[in-house]
Amino acid sequence: MSIDLRSDTVTKPTPAMLEAMFTAEVGDDVLGDDPTVLALEEKAARLFGMEAALFCTSGTMTNQLAIRTHTRPGDDVICDQLSHVYLYEGGGIAVNALASVNLVHGERGKLTADLVLDHIQPDDLHKPISRLVCLENTVNKGGGSYYTIPEIAAIRQVCDDHGLRLHLDGARLFNALIETGESPEAYGTLFDSISICLSKGLGCPVGSLLLGKADFIKQARRYRKLMGGGWRQAGYLAAAGIYALDHHVNRLKLDHARARKIGQMLEHLPEVEEIYPIDTNIVIFRLNQNILAADYVDQLARKGILAVPFGRHLVRFVTHLDFTDEHLENLELKLKEGVVSRS
């Protein structure tokens, strides 16, 4: 049995999701008449209490569209040094928005109101103009760490006081919501824009949504077309998103519980030096200094366990829809056999 813990993007549509896709009514999304895309966008916007939404291919696209729409060339974007918009989007802030990046050293990828305040540029012609703050929830490189509403509200207040806009990379936002019990509507009142991924914990084959005010989404739609992101009969994919929002949110609790059980398994491995706090579905652990993550991941693969190196000595596991209790039991057996070769 192969155990794929590389990411929660590796899932396949369930039979019920496939049925929804196969029976979807479609049109031409560029022409604005795909009824299933329109239904998904309306559903997501209503869920978060926001005016409009835009269905796109990926979370990178929705984040980059948001940054470009919020900023002008030469503006400054404040984000954490571990943030996805900085590390994993191909330098898109520079290429797409022609903006600079002001990196913050937060705790496990999380900003605070004081940190944001400290990084706002002064009114000085030598400095770029601070325009946008980007948060990530949950934080991938932070091991699935998440914000709470009071933490975000304090950052929102700083943004309001200084005329900054606030964007959320909510690729795994539903993982945070399941843990905190907070409502999507509360997020809609705090952010100028929100990106949510359907292809991670929610189990869709592809797709993300950008949410915001109607005029903001109208401009983002123009940029999506400019970037080649317009698509035609996208309703087949949008149907998967509707199904996921209806059926795959509450089950995220299972992913979190299984991630914590993996953490308990790792505690007994002699090669594991540290395990990051496991808040949601991401497990990051540090190996002893004499073991390289790339080598360790290779040894895991030989045992049928797929993972990714997340630094020189860091390894990441991510639980997901297709990682079951049977996989969990099999993982425990394989880890007990030992991973590191010993002479």
Question: Which of helix, strand or coil describes residue 315?
Answer: strand
Hey, how many other C-beta atoms are within 10 angstroms of the C-beta on 341? 8
CATH label, 15-247, candidates 3.10.310.30, 3.40.50.720, 3.40.640.10, 3.40.50.620: 3.40.640.10
Handedness of CA 114, 115, 118, 124 (dihedral sign): negative
Answer yes or no: same fold for 15-247 and 251-337: no
Backbone φ and ψ for 69, nearest 5 degrees, come out as -70, -35
Statement: residue 343 has pLDDT above 70: no
pLDDT tens track for 70-122:
999 999 999 999 999 999 999 999 999 999 999 999 999 999 999 999 999 99
Strands (E), 81-140: 100-104, 130-136
Q: If pLDDT is split at 50, 70 and 90, which confidence band does 340 have?
A: confident
Task: Tell me the pLDDT tens digit for each residue of 280-336.
Answer: 999 999 999 999 999 999 999 999 999 999 999 999 999 999 999 999 999 999 999
Contact predicate 67/132, CB 8 Å: yes
Distance CA 255, CA 10 (A): 14
Instruction: Quick: pLDDT tens for 15-65.
Output: 999 999 999 999 999 999 999 999 999 999 999 999 999 999 999 999 999
Q: At what angle do helices 235-247 and 15-22 cross, to 10 degrees?
A: 140
The per-residue pLDDT for range 197-242, each reduced to its tens digit, is 999 999 999 999 999 999 999 999 999 999 999 999 999 999 999 9
* Architecture of the domain defined by 251-337: Alpha-Beta Complex (3.90)
pLDDT of residue 6 exceeding 90 = yes
Both tokens of 317, joined, read 């596991």
**Sign of dihedral through CA atoms 215, 166, 183, 143?**
positive
Going from N- to C-terminal start, the domains of the chain cover 15-247, 251-337
Burial category of 267 from C-beta neighbours within 10 Å (exposed 0-12, middle 13-18, buried 19 and up): exposed
